[in-house]
Amino acid sequence: MRGAEVRPLPPPTLWGLAGEFADVDRFLAAVEACRKEGFVHYDAHAPIPVHGLDEAMEIRPSQLPKLVFLGGLLGCLGGLALQWWTNGVDYPFRISGKPLFAFPPAIPVTFEMTVLFSALFAVFGLLVANRHPELYHPLFELPAFAKGSDDKFFLVIEARDPRFAEEETSRFLQRLGAVAVHRVEVA
């Protein structure tokens, strides 16, 4: 635009360092060492669910199963209440000499509602807990991270970590066996 002042973009700021690993064993050992070193704002990214990673990072068991149980309970009681209210109370009509409300014929719908609500709570609980959809993340700025869904493992330490110091942390990651250490920058 004519007359508009052309201002240079602000320099990118360092968001964190990403250590790239090529095999599971080194990656796992590195993640554990990272925790033991006292880092708190770090995360491990892998193309597969790595067994032993939960222990290495001391991830506490997810609370999602409780939520799913709650969903199941809601579906079960809701299903029963729906059938009792609609056919037994609000709109009673006799058909085939059957009772207006009884448990045996109410079981199939109650069961399906239990499963449906459990599954909905599980899936939407997962999405909320994982903060999906999250279409932007600083890591997506890093071209090498595309391999993180293919065959590479990434141990990422964020710059906001109190123990973070670029030089030292970079050497730390290299010492742990990273095949490359990438700077993750955000504009």
Instruction: By CB under 8 A, name the binding residues for other proteins.
Output: 22-25, 28, 31, 43-55, 57, 59, 61-62, 64-65, 68, 82-83, 86-87, 90-91, 93, 95-96, 98, 105-106, 108-109, 111-113, 115-116, 118-120, 122-123, 125-127, 129-130, 132-137, 139-140, 145-151
**Contact between 62 and 130 (Cβ < 8 Å):** no
One-character DSSP codes across 129-167: HTT------GGGG-GGGGGGGTT-EEEEEETTSTT--HH
Helix (H) or strand (E) holding 21: strand 13-21
In angstroms, give the least distance from the CB of 162 to other proteins.
Answer: 20
Q: Which is nearer to other proteins, 129 or 165 (CB)?
A: 129
Q: Which residue's CB is nearer to other proteins, number 156 or number 159? A: 156
Spatial contact of 128 and 62, defined as CB atoms under 8 Å apart: no
Nearer to other proteins, 37 or 54 (CB): 54
- Residue 138 beta carbon to other proteins: minimum distance, rounded to whole angstroms: 10
- Alpha carbons 115 and 102: distance in angstroms, whole number: 21
Closest approach, Cβ 106 to other proteins, in A, equals 7
How long a stretch of residues is the chain? 187
Measure Cα distances from 158 to 6, 18, 58, 82, 139 in Å: 32, 8, 18, 50, 10
| 8 vs 91 by CB, closer to other proteins | 91
Smallest gap from Cβ 10 to other proteins, in A, equals 25
